């Protein structure tokens, strides 16, 4: 089974440090999504790409978060500087676009900011 | 804007009980509907989906959902739950031809052995 791969699975770091999370979408998928999951807010869409172009990042705090797709096999989500309130599980998902195809999720990065 | 409302945040059932999890969405146009499941410590997995046709959709592990357009609902059902169904369940909606899928806040299901 093709899978979305996320690294690292867990990250613990101190406030103020830069955090980079990586995602390898399923080969052939042209849409990539970044979600943040917390107990309080549930699953929030942070940003998404179609054919590597960023289409919507309205869910992302622009001053500290950035999302890129340097190539079709890699998506990155960076936080700089990190804050304790960024502690959450970050999921990447990929899909075939057009909405009527389900998204396939990675295992997530569990981020703890001390 | 689309939104999804899941009625129950937390449901506790005994094994063999019947399950129905409510989901309502708000969007006036054509939609695609999904139920995802997240087992403890794992990623979200697709349970079932509705795009068109028969409004009663059957998914994996004995789950089914019924799309009632007039009620903007897509409730998830299972006639007899098992302990292994303990998980969080997310209803999601996507507007036709839109890339984005909007998720509900989830329902945590706990099955007592």
Identify the burial level of A64 via C-beta atoms within 10 angstroms of its C-beta, where 0-12 means exposed, 13-18 middle and 19 or more buried. middle
Identify the burial level of B6 via C-beta atoms within 10 angstroms of its C-beta, where 0-12 means exposed, 13-18 middle and 19 or more buried. buried
pLDDT the model gives residue A59 = 87
Chain A residue with the nearest C-alpha to that of B100: A99
| More confidently predicted of A44 and A1 | A44
Task: Specify whether the CB–CB gap between A66 and A78 falls below 8 A.
Answer: yes
Chain A residue with the nearest C-alpha to that of B41: A107
CB contacts, 8 Å: A105 with chain B: 36, 43-45
Instruction: Pull the structure tokens for residue B90.
Output: 């997310």
**Using CA atoms, how far apart are residues A20 and A81, in angstroms rounded to an integer?**
11
pLDDT the model gives residue A98 = 64
Q: Which of A71, A26, A23 is nearest to A47 (CA)?
A: A23
Cβ neighbours of B56 (radius 10 Å): 11
pLDDT the model gives residue B3 = 87
pLDDT averaged over every residue in chain B:
93
Q: Do residue B49 and residue A106 have CB atoms under 8 angstroms apart? A: no
pLDDT the model gives residue A99 = 59
Residue A91, C-beta contacts closer than 8 angstroms, at least 6 positions apart? A6, A34, A35, A36, A37, A43, A105, A106, A108, B43, B44
Q: With an 8 Å Cβ cutoff, is A31 touching chain B?
A: yes
Identify the burial level of B37 via C-beta atoms within 10 angstroms of its C-beta, where 0-12 means exposed, 13-18 middle and 19 or more buried. buried
Give pLDDT tens digits for A52-92: 999 888 889 889 999 999 999 999 999 999 999 999 999 99
């Amino acid at each position: 089974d093709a899978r979305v791969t996320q690294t690292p699975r867990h990250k613990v770091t101190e406030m103020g440090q830069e955090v980079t999370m990586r995602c390898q979408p399923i080969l052939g998928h042209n849409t990539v999504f970044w979600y943040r999951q917390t107990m309080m807010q549930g699953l929030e869409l942070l940003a998404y790409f179609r054919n590597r172009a960023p289409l919507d990042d309205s869910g992302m705090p622009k001053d500290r978060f950035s999302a890129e797709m340097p190539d079709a096999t890699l998506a990155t989500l960076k936080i700089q500087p990190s804050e304790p309130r960024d502690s959450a599980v970050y999921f990447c998902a990929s899909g075939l676009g057009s909405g009527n195809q389900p998204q396939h999720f990675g295992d997530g990065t569990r981020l703890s900011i001390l | 804007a689309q939104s999804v409302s899941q009625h129950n945040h937390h449901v506790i059932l005994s094994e063999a009980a019947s399950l129905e999890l409510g989901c309502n969405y708000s969007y006036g146009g054509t939609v695609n509907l999904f139920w995802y499941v997240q087992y403890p410590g794992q990623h979200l997995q697709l349970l079932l989906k509705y795009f068109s046709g028969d409004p009663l959709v059957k998914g994996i592990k004995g789950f089914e959902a019924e799309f009632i357009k007039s009620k903007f609902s897509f409730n998830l059902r299972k006639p007899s739950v098992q302990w292994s169904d303990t998980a969080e369940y997310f209803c999601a909606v996507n507007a036709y031809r839109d890339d984005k899928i909007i998720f509900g806040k989830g329902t945590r299901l706990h099955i007592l052995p």
